[in-house]
Amino acid sequence: MARLAVSSDSEDDKPLATATNGRAKANGSNANGKRPLAGSGSDLSDDDKPLAKRAKGSTNGASASAANGNASKRKVAEASDDDDDRPIAQTLKSVAVPMPGAVKQSDDEDDVPLAKTNGLGGRGRPRQSYKEESRSAEDDDDSDVPIAKKAAKKRPSNGNGKSKQPPKKKVKKEESDPDASSDEDVPLAQKAPAAKAKAVPKPAATKRKSEPTTPAVKKAKVEVKKEVKKEVKKEASLSPVKARGKKAKSEDAEADAQAKAEEAEEEESYKYWEALNAAGDGSQKWTTLEHNGVLFPPPYQRLPSSVKMLYDGKPVDLPPESEEVAGFFGAMLETPHAQDAQFRSNFFDDFKTVLGKHPAYNGVKIMSLDLCDFRPMYEYYEAERAKKKAMSAAEKKEAKKVKDAMEEPYLYCLLDGRKEKVGNFRVEPPGLFRGRGEHPKKGKLKLRLYPEDMVINIGEGTKIPVPNIPGKWREVTHDNTVTWLANWKENVNGNSKYVFLAAGSSLKGQSDIAKFEKARELKKHVDRLRKDYTADLTSKIMADRQRATAIYFIDRYALRAGNEKGTEEADTVGCCSLRYEHVTMEKPDKLILDFLGKDSIRYYNELKVEPQIFKNIRLFKDGKTELDDLFDRVTTTGLNKYLQSYMQGLTAKVFRTYNASVTCQQQLEKLTDPDATVAEKILAFNRANREVAILCNHQRTVSKGFAASMDKMNDRLRALKYQRRKLRYALLIQEPQLKKKRKELVEEESDLDDDWIATYEDEQRKKEIEKAEKKFEKEKEKAVAEGDDEPKASILKDRIEAINEEYDRLKGERGSTTVELKSAKPSEKLEEAIEKLDERIKNFRYQITDKDEGKEVSLTTSKTNYIDPRIIAAWAKKYGVPIEKVLSKSLITKFPWAVEVDADFVF
């Protein structure tokens, strides 16, 4: 059957508008990244840095000593009034430990600008010493009061309205520096740093022994130990004075890394799925929200004066507005889009509109697209692409550094005091609309967006972000019942587009959980619903019979419900909007469905249906013409209303999620052999996933490069066989008696002929020489960078000679069973190497089979949107398959709640 390209997008991506049951308490803070939000303390002063990283001689006084976790009492004595009144971010770096759900902010903190709260712009509780912690534990009433006010509150008055400083306390000599007694009156900035810095104690309230240590924490702690060991080894060769300095540095590093490890543990311990908030419309989704808006693309850069489009062979001097639009088409000149009649027509209509507002400077009138020559623009853009591709590694690294610095402020937001990653924060640049399939508006101009087009949603009382280009936001709203950060209306289809949090964020995760839980809930009602709609298939009321037949198609074949389309929208249909022309009948029980589905993807399926369904379709078609609706008495709204009488929140698309998940679970149970290898289990998983993709019509056309890709895979398989044959010959030379005992050692590979071997060895020779040359160039660059002498050219020459000698020797062995390995190996080692290659060849064959079977089906969409990821995670645990083998890194990030499921989970 024909299978065409399928969109990776799904209407199920949108958050569901229903509440879910089962709330539990969270146990920590969020596990998202740690880059600070721009404008919120990303450029930290010395005062804002963690103590372990501060320069020696820091002037931050008591705040520095307290944050360093020193047991010394000197920190109390040295405190100053100025420190107490500084914003939190300038005294102690806060490590946020937000509670699940909304985090109530104090009135005082709400007025503090984002950049002056803490290192991430958050308002979490700062780290405390043991004494401070015990005091705060005893006095819960002022736990939310800013530090400066707490200190003033507890300090006795001196009678003139000012608070007294506490009396200085003597510091034990063994706890201070060697010269502590002599420098007591020296200003803090001039005092020597403490010889030992202890890690800041973690507040007891955030420690959860029942939680396993996360990989990030383990990694951080291992790195700490490694660094400390390195420093300790160096100390032996140092003088006593230097050794003490080194020791202090190593302990500072240990404290800093330990603090980071603890912070990672606290962040990762926040599990939003254990504190699931309601996801229904109108419910509050957040309490506080801070972000930096969206990132607009840079303004248009004019082409060089020598690059101009031609009209009827003459150069056209276009103003920047018109030149930019012409460049859009010029850049796509060699693509299928530029040859498409509909695309060309829509582009030229919009191009003429722009030219009407911004005509050519030299007065050229452009009346026909066929007379336009965009080749000079195309060649310029191709040259620019080639330059970018030819950039050195250092240049690419520098370009990426600049790009990352520009994007950094927009990567994260603060949601209820937690750092959460933002999804599509980049504003879509102008260009030509491509659409999917036969979209009627493909080729139309997507206009450049400005701040005046954008609505920003942010917490009330929060600092409004400033756009990165001139302009003012169209509107700033404070709606905590929605989860979008910004929205705008695009000009081509008039659709609203939104900026949401990233796929792995808590709000997205809660929406996903609600969606799959709703599909699981359907299990309790589906039998009753099927019984009822089966009975209605013979109803005398035509509306009921049509509705029952429509539900049959939605339930059994995962058809989308379908909505009415406007005249300017693509003619895509679903079940309720099927027309007479979309269904062909073949007796006795065959229906052929052929129509454009979502995103203009063709749906073609030949169905063998029950006699009553066949009879109903014939009845519905009776007396109608090609363009008449098949289900003319059913609407999507009415259908969903009927479904909700069985279960709250039930709609037609819940069936797709339910049936996809059930099908996956059934196929996994059927196809998985517990005793199979991991590669065989992965093949079984992909076959189960393929059944789901076929059910949901996630089809695609075979890519143009598929044949070439398969050829490469077959060549890689032959290369493995080539290596195995060499090892077999070497083993038979050492153990000739095995020729009779083990027939597989003397069997020739059917696809290893002399011509292929000659081609393979010649290609490998070239690759080895290129690799040696690249390595030599890197050695030269490194030597120049470090100020050393460049390696001599003779070194490269010797390496190439050695490569040629080796491949000349292999050339002489062609057609012979006599081989000589690079390094001699005993028979046992040869046996082990052959066994490993046997396993690799076996597994690679499974990969080739899997790729060939999946050439017409997209497996990504079903895993992303329809299959409950807990089914996949439980299967992987049950059968010992690494989760990363069946779920991509992005999906593991999207579904962290699913990865923690038990192996006995059943949908």
Q: Are 197 and 52 in contact (CB under 8 A)?
A: yes
Q: Which residues pair with 445 in a beta bridge?
A: 432
From start to end of 67-131, where are the E strands?
none
Residues with Cβ within 8 Å of residue 259, at least 6 apart in sequence: 50, 52, 95, 127, 199, 200
Give the Cβ contact number of residue 189 at 10 Å.
10
Residue 72 phi, psi dihedral angles, 5° rounding: -60, 140
- Considering 270, 410, 603, 866, which one is annotated as catalytic? 866
Alpha-carbon span 839 to 841, nearest angstrom: 5
Q: Are 760 and 719 in contact (CB under 8 A)?
A: yes
Could you say which DSSP state residue 158 is in? -
Residue 518 phi, psi dihedral angles, 5° rounding: -65, -40
User: 635, 642, 650: which is closest to 577 by C-alpha?
Assistant: 635
Give the Cβ contact number of residue 888 at 10 Å.
12
Q: Are 863 and 854 in contact (CB under 8 A)?
A: no
**Alpha helix segments (H runs only) across 604-736:** 611-621, 636-643, 652-671, 678-695, 706-734
Residue 606 phi, psi dihedral angles, 5° rounding: -105, 115
Does a cis peptide bond (omega within 30 degrees of 0) precede residue 409? no
Angle subtended by helix axes 678-695 and 652-671, to nearest 10: 150
- The three-point CA angle 726-732-736 to 5° equals 165
Give the Cβ contact number of residue 77 at 10 Å.
17
Alpha-carbon span 102 to 270, nearest angstrom: 13
Kindly provide the b/e burial profile for residues 516-538, where b requires at least 16 CB atoms within 10 angstroms of the residue's own CB: bbbbbbbeeebeebeeebeebbe
- Report CA Rg, the chain: 35
Residue 315 in tokens: 């150069």
Pairing of strands 475-477, 455-457: parallel
- For residue 458, the SS3 value is coil
Active site residue 729: no
- For residue 736, the SS3 value is coil
Find where tokens 């404008």 sit.
39
Q: Are 498 and 25 in contact (CB under 8 A)?
A: no
Q: Which residues pair with 293 in a beta bridge?
A: none
3-state secondary structure 820-841: CCCCCCCHHHHHHHHHHHHHHH
Tell me which residues are annotated as active site. Answer: 866
